[in-house]
Amino acid sequence: MRGLIIALFLAGPAAAQRETATFLKIQPGARPMALGEAFTAVADDLDALTTNPAGLGRLGVQQATFEHAELFAGTRLDHAAYALPFASDGGSLLSGGTLGLGVTHLSQPALEGRDAAGNPTGAFGAGDTAVMMGYSRRLADYPAVLGGTLKYLHSTIADASAQSYAVDLGAQRPFYALERPASVGVAIRNLGPGLKFGSETDPLPLELSAGGAITLGGAMTLALDVHQSPHEHQTAVSIGTEYAVLSGFALRTGYGSAQASAGGTSGVGSLGGFGMGFGLRVYKMTLDYSFSPYGELGSAQRLSLSSRF
């Protein structure tokens, strides 16, 4: 029964809406998840590659990150990425912008197969991989950053496999509100033709996000996102806060209504949707951790290690 609940959670309402590649809804990044996924305007590190690619243009230095996430009942998410900024006078097509490369893999334990009559047919495996390349740069005459990410997708279920591609697009604009640093951002994720298993092609989990963020007192950042899923006809809200307790140490917490509902899945619990975590920076290394409780499903924990150089 618990395995069925987990399968429903991962698929969410996409199962009824015939969406595919729903692993794309599971965002990498301990920092975004601790903020309840309120990250569209906040993105200023390598997590931007999978949330709002425009944020890559705010890096300024090379960065590499590695993440491992323990989700539910043996389901694991691993992610690695690298970003390389190019000088404005480099003379190349990429000059003045930032290039990002990454790969994400979701692995699941053996699943029990059943035929139309409900009889066991043996265990089978399933896994999903996304390989991505992003680019972002600031506009020359306007204080805004634009970016995009191209993703190659590969999914396997038992003996069947499918490949496809998707595109993410994003924009950010920093400004000052009430003499405080602030930013707004928009992103469109998973534009693409869908995945085809057999003779049937289902759409990817398209998502549109818009958000804003403001930093108060130089130490606390407040963020708000609104997410729209056109195929599901659903709107979700995310709120998050990040507080720099000390130089190099930050506490985070957030709430996302999409994770709270989990597509109507039972067993998520009253704390579903909440996220919490911290970030610890020592010299050029940063350790990020997030924890999200999901009631009967268990909990999701993410650990990210990144370096700027």
Q: What is the band of 236 on the pLDDT scale with cuts at 50, 70, 90?
A: very high
Phi, psi of 258 (to 5 degrees): -65, -40
234 token code pair: 């659903």
Model pLDDT, residue 126: 78
Q: Read off the pTM.
A: 0.85
CATH number for the region 2-111+124-308 comes to 2.40.160.40
Give the chain as a 3 state SS string: CHHHHHHHHHHCCHHHHCCCCHHHHCCCCHHHHHCCCCCCCCCCCCCHHHHCHHHHHHCCCCEEEEEEEECCCCCEEEEEEEEEECCCCCCCCCCCEEEEEEEEEEECCCEEEECCCCCEEEEECEEEEEEEEEEEEECCCCCCEEEEEEEEEEEEECCEEEEEEEEEEEEEEEEEECCEEEEEEEEEEEECCCEEECCEEECCCCEEEEEEEEEECCCEEEEEEEEEECCCCEEEEEEEEEEEEECCEEEEEEEEHHHHHHHHCCCCCCCCCEEEEEEEEECCEEEEEEEEECHHHCEEEEEEEEEEC
Model pLDDT, residue 272: 66
Query: How many Å apart are CA 279 and CA 78, to the nearest integer?
Result: 19
Model pLDDT, residue 94: 75
CA atoms within 13 A on the CB side of 297: 29
Is pLDDT larger for residue 265 or for residue 163? Answer: 163
Length of the chain: 309
The rounded Cα 299 to chain-centroid distance in angstroms is 17
Is pLDDT larger for residue 112 or for residue 78? Answer: 78
Q: What is the band of 263 on the pLDDT scale with cuts at 50, 70, 90?
A: very low
pLDDT tens for 154-177 read: 998 877 888 999 999 999 999 988
Distances (CA, A) of 201 to 103, 114, 127, 205: 24, 23, 18, 13
Is pLDDT larger for residue 215 or for residue 157? Answer: 215
Model pLDDT, residue 254: 96
**CA proximity to 125, closest of 94, 78, 150, 158:** 158
Q: What is the band of 12 on the pLDDT scale with cuts at 50, 70, 90?
A: very low
Is pLDDT larger for residue 47 or for residue 232? Answer: 47
* Mean pLDDT in residue range 129-144: 91
Model pLDDT, residue 251: 98
* Mean pLDDT in residue range 98-119: 79
Query: Dmax of the chain from CA atoms?
Result: 66
**CA proximity to 65, closest of 82, 41, 86:** 82
Q: What is the band of 87 on the pLDDT scale with cuts at 50, 70, 90?
A: confident
* Mean pLDDT in residue range 22-41: 92
Q: What is the band of 7 on the pLDDT scale with cuts at 50, 70, 90?
A: very low
Kindly tell me the burial class for residue 112, based on how many C-beta atoms sit within 10 Å of its own C-beta (0-12, 13-18, 19 or more).
exposed
Is pLDDT larger for residue 299 or for residue 198? Answer: 299
pLDDT tens for 238-262 read: 999 999 998 899 999 999 887 655 5
